[in-house]
Amino acid sequence: QVQLVESGGGLVQAGDSLKLSCGVSGRTFSSYVMGWFRQVPGKERDIVAAITWSIGNTYYANSVKGRFTISRDVAKNTEYLQMNSLKPEDTGIYYCAARSGTMATSKNYYDYWGQGTQVTVSS
């Protein structure tokens, strides 16, 4: 079993920066992918960014390209999401997720989830 714990959410103003962290513990796999998803009330949980743990290949949703950076610290078993130039539309609950295998962008392919952390961006 894999346990994921997010931290770093909060209330910020438009244009500010915020960094989310996701600690990984428990069983790990030879190759897996970590992702960040965002959900707002009444909408689907959509991918924001993802990274392959072993090589560090990344994926970004178009809405965050150039503003957000996903990274991982293998020694610390921690994934990060650096969010810059935040906009009100970035508001939502951010979930850390993990899956064994190759890069995937649909939430349906991720097996492990954190509890979520709220990010609110005021205008």
Taking Cα atoms as reference points, which of 67, 70, 71 lies closest to residue 89? 67
Q: Which residues pair with 81 in a beta bridge?
A: 20, 70
CA angle 41, 44, 102 (to 5 degrees): 140
What is the distance between the alpha carbons of residues 7 and 5, in angstroms, rounded to a whole number?
7
pLDDT at 36: 98
What is the distance between the alpha carbons of residues 30 and 20, in angstroms, rounded to a whole number?
24
Residues ≥6 apart with Cβ < 8 Å to 45? 37, 38, 39, 95, 107
End-to-end Cα separation, the chain, in angstroms: 40
Q: Which residues pair with 45 in a beta bridge?
A: none
pLDDT at 26: 87
Please report, in tens digits, the pLDDT of each residue of the chain (123 residues total).
889 999 999 999 999 999 999 999 987 666 799 999 999 999 999 999 999 999 999 999 999 999 999 999 999 999 999 999 999 999 999 999 999 999 999 999 999 999 999 999 999
Dihedrals phi, psi of 23, to nearest 5 degrees: -85, 135
Could you tell me if 119 and 8 are in contact, meaning their C-beta atoms sit under 8 angstroms apart?
no
Encoding tokens for residue 107?
């939430």
pLDDT at 31: 79
pLDDT at 1: 83
